[in-house]
Every structure is written in structure tokens, then in C-alpha cells.
Amino acid sequence: MLSNSLIELDRAHLIHPVTSYRGHEATGVKVLRSAEGATVTDASGHQLVDGFAGLWCVNAGYGHESIVAAASRQMRELPYATGYFSLGSEPAIRLAAELAQRAPGDLDHVYFTLGGSDAVDSSVRFIRYYWHARGEPQRDQFISIEQGYHGSSTVGAGLTALSTFHAGFGVPLSWQHKIPSHYVYRNPAGHDGNAIIAASLAALDAKIAEIGGPQRVAAFYAEPIQGSGGVLVPPKGWMKAMRARCQAYGILFVADEVITGFGRTGPLFACSEDEIVPDIMTVAKGLTSGYVPMGAVFLSDHVYGTIADAAGSSAVGQGYTYSAHPVSAAVALEVLRLYEIGLLANGVKAGARLMAGLQSLKDHPLVGDVRGRGMLAAIELVTDKKQKTPLPIAAEPARRIFDRAWKNGLIIRAFPTGVLGYAPPLCCSDSDIEAIIERTAKTLDETL
């Protein structure tokens, strides 16, 4: 059992990320104690299927002894090595090489961070350096997309377009601009993919013109699927069209694969399926499957080369104490091995089951939309299917749906927009997926 004192200690001292502090003080913490495969157990012994892989990150699932062994071996041998002063460690070098080999196109240069937010933050710094190096420092404007999420660093939160990350924080900054999302279910252009792509291209053109022309624009940021905005899947060809338009303007295209990378949508990187090679790609989460923190920025040959040539014998002033941490790298190497000896394949199979199962709930009176790709999916709840009236949040706060699912033995993400998000571990068995669907149906019935 969870002791009252632990709840009190949490209430008094632990600040939780993206949480209502006062709301949390009132409800108290739910403590997770152990996990195996796709199942987690809380402090009272209640077992739940983790339909959200922690925070869309435990792609490999819980309890892999080989990952634990890789970490402990590395800790024993060499727990830390800096990358400063041209030093390094074997796992970090090997990991960079393995990732470069698998990344799309010429994304051959890998800079390791501690997670997704600092990967995005670092990417902005590389982009600024790149344009200075190119003699175009006036290219200092950045464009991203409504409903997009790019972390909660000061810079990333401004590229993010979700109000929770803006209110009270003084972001977005003046050089951070947005265009509307493709949001297929609610797009004014309707459901037709070509019309949506045309609308997004027109919005990008208009935004660039408004900013002062392409010669002012440094980069465009896009998630292959918008995750935190409610699992918004663009129409097929959307990424390719946006990438091509940015290329035509000479604007750098950044694919933020922090959620979509490492098998979440099927292949190792969603960009491969979208048939694009971005100039820069950011990853985190599935890179180490959440066992230890790590993220990365991939730079294409021309971005890396431009920065390296401009710096010459001077240092490029971007780095962290824990860049390319050897323990994280050793874990990532083992996680990568596990993906390739079966987890990616199982994820594809389980993803098809998940989507079919969620589609079977389409007739439920509350389900307005079902969408997703691979092991990344969502259902959008409405009170009127024809009018697409969002489930009124005041009447049914997301937290209540989350708690109801929890009681039913399921962890899902309940977004305040009335969207339920799914990102289960790739190791899910058929019965795990069945449990996710059954427990979702029960939760929806109790929400009616």
C-alpha cells in the first residue's frame, strides 16, 4: 500500500510537469511501482495496460533485462565521458554511426541531447548559426504549425502552439510564427487530402509573404503526425508537399520526430514512410525507450558542412555536460537492437489490431473520429456526430475520463480537447490490444 506519508511528501515537495499544482495538491499522486511488458502496477497492486507507453516513450515495453544489463555494464566500465575537448566514448560513437546509417538520406551527423525539448532548442541554435555562416543573418524568422508541440524550453515552447505552454510564460517570441494545422477532422477545406494540402501550402506562402519574403525565413518545423495537439495525422503526401515548398523557397525543413521516431508509426522514422529527407530531424523518447534520458538532432551533410566550415578552428558553442552520455548511448544501442530483431515488426502487427479495434468503436455515440498510424492513434469524442460538437470539457473534464480508464485498468492520454490518445508499447500482445479496446469501450459507456 502507498503510505500517506509518501502522498504528503509529494504534495509538499515534488513539482509535477504540466500539472495544475493546486488541483494536484487536492487529488494527490498516483504512484507507479513496477512494470513488465505493457503492464504497469501501482502502489496498491492495481494492474493497468499502459496504452500510452509512459509518455509516448517506452516503445520497447518494460522489463527488458538486456537493456538493464547494457546500462549496468556501461556504468561499471565508464559511467561518464565528456564530448568536450575532442573526447568521447565508444557507445556514443557507435550509436551515432548506427543512427546515421538508418536515418533518411544524408542526415549523417548526430548531436546528442538529454531529451526532446533540448533537441529542438539545439536545432534552433544550429539553424541560426547556419544562416549566419551563409551570410544571411536576416533569416531569423521561424514558422511552425497550430496544434504543434516542440517541447517546453523557452524557444521550443514558442514554436509549440498549445496555449497551456504560452499563458503566463511570455512566449511565443516575436520571430515565431504559425500556420493552421491540417487537422483533417475539423479542416474547413473538408476531408479531401489534396484540398487540405493545397490549403496548407497557401497558408505557408501567405505567412512567408507576411513575414517579408523567404529571405527572412530560417526554418519550418513540422511533426510527421502532430502528437500532443491530439494525434493529428496529415493527409498522405502532406509532408512531401510542404518539404518541397520549403526547398523551393530555400527554407530549412525540420522534421520533429520526437514522438514518431523509433517505430511509433511503423518504420524507424516516419519521414522514411513520408518519402522525405528533412534538412534537420529531432528525436528523443523511443531512442532509449524511456529507460534513461536521451534525445538527438540529426544534421544533413550541407547543414553540418556549412557550420563546420564557418567555424573553422573555432569551437561551435553548443553543448551540454551530458551530451552523448555513454550510459544513455549504451541503452540506445541495445534498444535499437531490440527494435530490429522483432519489436518493429510486432509494432506493425499490433498497430493494425489497435486501429481495427478503435474503428470498431466508431458507432459509439460519443466517438466522432478515429485516426492514427501504426501504434499512434486517437479517438475524438463529440456529443453530436453531425455537428462535431466537442465533448464539453466543463461537463466532462479530461481528468475524469483518465481516472475512469485508470479504474478500468487502462492508461490513456485524455486531452482537454476531448481527444483520447493511444501510444502503447510496440511489444503489445494481441490480448494487450484487446484489453485496451475493451477497457476503452467500458470507459466510454461510463462517460455517456
Amino acid in the structure at residue 102: R
Q: Provide the β-strand partners of residue 62.
A: 37
Q: Contact at 8 Å (CB) between 332 and 288?
A: yes
Q: Cα–Cα distance between 221 and 120 in angstroms, integer?
A: 10
Task: Identify which range of 149-157, 195-203, 242-250, 419-427 contacts ligand PLP by CB under 6 A.
Answer: 149-157
| The three grid cell numbers given for residue 177, joined into one nine-digit string | 510564427
Nearer to ligand PLP, 378 or 382 (CB): 378
Which of 83, 116, 224, 261 forms a contact with ligand PLP (CB under 6 A)? Answer: 116
In whole angstroms, the minimum distance from the beta carbon of 148 to ligand PLP comes to 8
Tell me the C-alpha to C-alpha distance, in Å, between residue 92 and each of 188, 298, 323: 47, 14, 9
Contacting residues for 192 by C-beta, under 8 A, at least 6 apart: none
End-to-end CA distance of the chain: 32
Angle among Cα 324, 328, 334 to the nearest 5 degrees reads 120
Q: What number of chain residues touch ligand PLP (CB under 6 A)?
A: 15
Cα of 162 vs its chain's centroid, Å: 14
Q: Does residue number 151 form part of the binding site for ligand PLP (CB under 6 A)?
A: yes
Q: Does residue number 256 form part of the binding site for ligand PLP (CB under 6 A)?
A: yes
Q: Does residue number 228 form part of the binding site for ligand PLP (CB under 6 A)?
A: yes
In whole angstroms, the minimum distance from the beta carbon of 278 to ligand PLP comes to 13
Identify residues 20-79 at the interface with ligand PLP (CB under 6 A). none
Which of 91, 158, 227, 286 forms a contact with ligand PLP (CB under 6 A)? Answer: 227
Which of 150, 243, 245, 264 forms a contact with ligand PLP (CB under 6 A)? Answer: 150
Q: Does residue number 120 form part of the binding site for ligand PLP (CB under 6 A)?
A: yes
Nearer to ligand PLP, 373 or 439 (CB): 373
Amino acid in the structure at residue 238: W
3-state class (DSSP) for residue 413: strand
Binding mask 271-290 for ligand PLP (x = CB under 6 A): -------------x------
In whole angstroms, the minimum distance from the beta carbon of 149 to ligand PLP comes to 5
Q: Cα–Cα distance between 312 and 308 in angstroms, integer?
A: 6
Tell me the C-alpha to C-alpha distance, in Å, between residue 88 and each of 78, 80, 91, 93, 323: 11, 9, 9, 7, 10
Which of 29, 127, 233, 258 forms a contact with ligand PLP (CB under 6 A)? Answer: 258
Contacting residues for 301 by C-beta, under 8 A, at least 6 apart: 106, 108, 109
Q: Does residue number 149 form part of the binding site for ligand PLP (CB under 6 A)?
A: yes
Task: Identify which range of 42-50, 90-98, 116-124, 267-275 contacts ligand PLP by CB under 6 A.
Answer: 116-124
In whole angstroms, the minimum distance from the beta carbon of 152 to ligand PLP comes to 7
Q: Contact at 8 Å (CB) between 261 and 286?
A: yes
Q: Which residues bind ligand PLP (CB under 6 A)?
A: 115-117, 120, 149-151, 223, 227-228, 256, 258-259, 284, 295
